[in-house]
Amino acid sequence: MQRRAASFGGGPLYDARMKNKNAEGAQTVEPIDDAEAICAVVNDAAEAYRGIIPADRWHEPYMPREELLAEIQAGVKFFCIRHGGRIAGVMGLQHVSDVALIRHAYTLTSLQHGGLGTQLLDYLKRQTERPLLVGTWKAATWAVRFYERRGFHLVSDEEKARLLRRYWTVPERQIDESVVLRQ
C-alpha cells in the first residue's frame, strides 16, 4: 500500500532533525535531494491534475522515482520549504543554455494557499540572474494564475512551442497541452 504524502508522522515528509528547530512553525527553504520525499510532495499535489489534464498525460504515480532521478541527472536542483519541521513544498531550478527553468513546483494539498509556494518561488528567483521560464498544463488554470500573480506573463502559442522544444524535453502532445510563462 502506498503511503499518502499527507501522512507526516515518521513518513518521508517528516524529519525529526528539524522538529526542535521549527517548533514554532517557522518556514525554511533549503536544497533537497531526497527522492522519496520529493516524489511524495509532487504526487500528493499532482492529484489536482486528475481529470483536468488529458487522460493520456496522467499516470500513476504522476512522478515515478525513476523519472525524478532522471530530472536530477539532467540538472534540476530541487529545493524544499519546511513548515513546522516537515517538507511542505518542493520546486526545481534548472539552468539550460541562457535561461533558468522553474521545474516541478508543488505544495502539499493540505498546505496550499498559505504562501509556501510563493516563498519557494521567491527563493529560487534569487538563485539566478537568468531570465526565468516556467511551463505548466494549460488546463491547470490555477497554476497559470499563480505565476501571473507573481510577475510572469504567458507567451504566444508560437513562442511557447519554440521555447518548449529548445529548453525542455517533452513530447509533442505535451507541447500542445502546455503553456509557458516568462519573467
- The domain segmentation of the chain, as residue ranges, is 16-130
What is the pLDDT at residue 25? 52
Q: How does pLDDT run across 47-67, given as a tens digit for each residue?
A: 998 888 888 888 899 999 999
Q: How does pLDDT run across 123-170, given as a tens digit for each residue?
A: 999 999 999 999 999 999 999 999 999 999 999 999 999 999 999 999
Contact 72, 78 (CB under 8 A): yes
Average pLDDT estimate for 38-50: 93
Type of residue at 52: I
Q: What is the spatial distance between Cα 66 and Cα 117, in angstroms, rounded to a whole number?
A: 24
What is the pLDDT at residue 5? 36
Q: How does pLDDT run across 13-28, given as a tens digit for each residue?
A: 433 333 333 334 558 8
Q: How does pLDDT run across 92-110, given as a tens digit for each residue?
A: 999 999 999 999 999 999 9
Q: The domain 16-130 belongs to what CATH superfamily?
A: Gcn5-related N-acetyltransferase (GNAT) (3.40.630.30)
